[in-house]
Amino acid sequence: MGSTKNVLLGRSLRELEEWVVGHGYKPFRGRQLHEWLYSKGVKSLQEITVLPKHWRQTLLEEGFEVGRLREINRFTASDFTTKLLLETNDGENIEAVGIPTENRLTVCVSSQIGCPMACRFCATGKEGLNRSLQAYEIVSQVISVREVMGRRPSNVVFMGMGEPLLNIQEVLQSIRCINEDLGIGQRRITISTVGVPNTLPQLAEKAITFLGRAQFTLAVSLHAPNQQLREQIIPTASKYPLQSLLDDCSRYFSLTGRRVSFEYILLGGFNDNYEHAKELADQLSGFQSHINLIAYNPIGDDEFSRPTMQHINSFRNVLENRGLAVSFRASRGLDKNAACGQLRRQHFQSINGGAT
């Protein structure tokens, strides 16, 4: 893992101006750097031809770098969802996904290399955790997707590899950069979590302190209407009772004023029947919330199956009849393992035809 102090990506305009002044140059050089890092998306110092050549060489000799991740592989699904395998400076791999529609481009970013939460329905969780990502490594994913897909991202979701609330400070630093330097509004950024004890109020307080506000969307992965069922699919839930999680969600709302979104993966024959829907409605009654239903995406084993559309519609109807706001998220990139829960640092077919 490269030294953060020698990486330029992730620094704000003010930080870049102060940095160039510290090297004996005028502040306008910092503004030039900012443009080339974030608008032009350069990958190396040598590409920043607007800077004096001798200074670029000196910076290289001193170990400074832009901080972009290297694209190893790329695959595009039939719906044009594009998954990138990116390599970090220390030789690790992560996946980022670009999900396009006519009017928007959503970038799904990873916050860790692997994940320690071990959710049974998630491919990433089956690999364990290697390490957390630094802010510049998260920002680089957004720029890489923008570059590959040739259009400006409109939304960023922390729904890739890893548990964002186990990497709060770096996640918030990356949000600052994505918001201020890449120009993506906080309200178009979503942090998804399966739940880590005592972190939701901490996230709210740190966001308000560090960012000045907490306007991003918080998406909490429930995936079960009761504690017993939840522990069967989310091992870490045994240390975080469902009621405590919901209490923390209420606390988060009181601190930020932002409605919480609840995610619920429908696992065929496991948590998708009529009684489960009624129990979930009881749990969330009175919440300022939105429920996002997701059909299970296969991850290469036979442990779970996708629900039928009849079960999906029945489940949704129960919730809506109880006055809850509900939507169903259609799977994107499913045929290339780029859908929700399918990211696994795969060394799939190389973009230049070879196998890695």
Predicted confidence band at 4 (pLDDT cuts at 50, 70, 90)? confident
Residues 99-142 have pLDDT tens digits of 999 999 999 999 999 999 999 888 887 778 999 999 999 999 99
Q: What is the mean pLDDT of the chain?
A: 91
Check pLDDT > 50 for residue 350.
no
All domains of the chain in start order, with CATH: 4-61 (1.10.150.530), 70-336 (3.20.20.70)
For 12, residues 6+ apart whose C-beta sits below 8 A from its C-beta are 176, 177, 180, 181
* pLDDT for the residue 343: 47
**If you ran DSSP here, which 8-state letter would residue 175 be given?**
H
Q: Integer distance in angstroms from the first to the last C-alpha of the chain?
A: 21
Q: Residue 354 has what pLDDT?
A: 31
pLDDT in the model for residue 347: 47
Asked whether the beta carbons of 159 and 203 are under 8 A apart, the reply is: no
For the stretch 28-61, pLDDT in tens is 999 999 999 999 999 999 999 999 999 999 999 9
> In this model, does residue 338 exceed pLDDT 50?
no
Q: What region, left, alpha or beta, does residue 218 occupy, with left being phi > 0 and alpha being psi -120 to 50 degrees?
A: beta
Q: Which residues are catalytic?
A: 95, 340
- Please give the pLDDT value at position 301: 64
Residue 11 has pLDDT above 60, yes or no: yes
Specify the amino acid at residue 21.
V
**pLDDT score, position 123:** 80
DSSP 275-333: HHHHHHHHHHTT-SEEEEEEE----SSSS--PPPHHHHHHHHHHHHHTT--EEEE---S
Q: What is the pLDDT of residues 281-323, one digit of tens each?
A: 999 998 889 999 999 988 766 688 999 999 999 999 999 999 9
Q: Which of 123-127, 249-253, 274-278 has the lowest mean pLDDT?
A: 123-127
Q: What is the mean pLDDT of residues 77-93?
A: 95
pLDDT at 332: 60
- Please enumerate in sequence order all residues whose Cβ is within 8 A of that of 40, keeping only pairs 6 or more positions apart, or say none: none
233-239: long-range pairs with CB below 8 Å, 24+: 233/119, 233/120, 233/121, 233/267, 233/270, 233/271, 234/117, 234/119, 234/120, 234/194, 234/195, 235/117, 235/118, 235/119, 235/120, 236/116, 236/117, 236/118, 236/194, 236/195, 236/196, 237/194, 237/195, 239/197
pLDDT value for 3 = 60
